[in-house]
């Protein structure tokens, strides 16, 4: 069975040791909720797992593939704090580029995904004219059509209304039932069943 194995990971930012000797394993089908106070290193952990930040020391492997390997990067979708959208482009154009950066998806699926997340009729709207929650929904639509197995979601519920939160939670559950895994951070209570909690 595929699993993401983290062994003896340490991270330092400035003069602060955020975490050290962190070891855990997430199997396919599992949801890991990373909790911790502000500045405890939740975002740093996800960035290290996404390959954006360098680690101080430690091992990360996915089926014996390292973070830098193409096999690993193909399987990862990282959702950061920022929206990853250009205001000058429409939601659909942004989504097309985003999905091409991962593994491309055809246009019909993208339009369908925008509709599913409650943005029907907004596909040609410039992202500069969308609200914070709507921008979040655009990139979440990109997440839902991606074929990546490992979802790394940094505060996915920010700016979303309760219906939006429910949609995201149900999609995370569906993803895990279909052979994916998900690591996410949030300060809100999440109603996800079968989630494990990692406190930093």
Q: Which is nearer to another protein, 34 or 49 (CB)?
A: 49
Residue 47 Cβ vs another protein, minimum distance, rounded to whole Å: 8
Q: In what order do the strands lie in the sheet with 195-199?
A: 76-79, 150-154, 181-185, 31-35, 195-199
**Which of positions 41-70 make contact with another protein (CB under 8 A)?**
50-54, 70
Tokens of 163: 């219906």
Residue 193 Cβ vs another protein, minimum distance, rounded to whole Å: 28
Interior/surface letters 4-37, b for 16+ CB within 10 angstroms, e for the rest: bebeebebeeeeeebbeebeeebeebbbbbbebe
Tokens of 24: 């855990």
Interface characters, 77-96, with another protein (x: CB under 8 A): xx-xxxxxxxxxx---x--x
Block residue for tokens 């595929």: 2
Q: Which is nearer to another protein, 127 or 169 (CB)?
A: 127
Q: Which residues contact 174 (CB under 8 A, 6 or more apart)?
A: none
Q: Is 156 in the site for another protein (CB under 8 A)?
A: no
Q: Which is nearer to another protein, 59 or 88 (CB)?
A: 88
Q: Which residues bind another protein (CB under 8 A)?
A: 50-54, 70, 73-74, 76-78, 80-89, 93, 96-98, 100-102, 104
């Amino acid at each position: 069975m595929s699993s993401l194995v983290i062994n003896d990971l340490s991270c330092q930012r400035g003069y602060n040791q955020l975490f050290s000797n962190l070891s855990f394993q997430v199997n396919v089908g599992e949801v890991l909720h990373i909790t911790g106070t502000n500045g405890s290193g939740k975002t740093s952990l996800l960035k290290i797992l996404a390959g954006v930040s360098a680690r101080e020391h430690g091992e990360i492997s996915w089926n014996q593939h390292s973070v830098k390997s193409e096999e690993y990067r193909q399987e990862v979708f990282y959702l950061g704090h920022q929206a990853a959208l250009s205001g000058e482009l429409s939601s659909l154009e942004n989504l097309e580029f985003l999905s091409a950066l991962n593994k491309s998806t055809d246009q019909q699926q993208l339009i369908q995904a925008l509709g599913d997340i409650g943005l029907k009729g907004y596909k040609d709207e410039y992202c500069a004219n969308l609200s914070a929650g709507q921008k979040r929904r655009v990139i979440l639509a990109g997440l839902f059509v991606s074929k990546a197995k490992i979802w790394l979601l940094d505060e996915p519920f920010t700016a979303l209304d309760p219906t939006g939160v429910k949609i995201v939670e149900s999609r995370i559950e569906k993803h895990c039932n279909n052979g994916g895994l998900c690591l996410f951070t949030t300060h809100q209570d999440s109603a996800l069943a079968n989630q494990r909690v990692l406190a930093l």
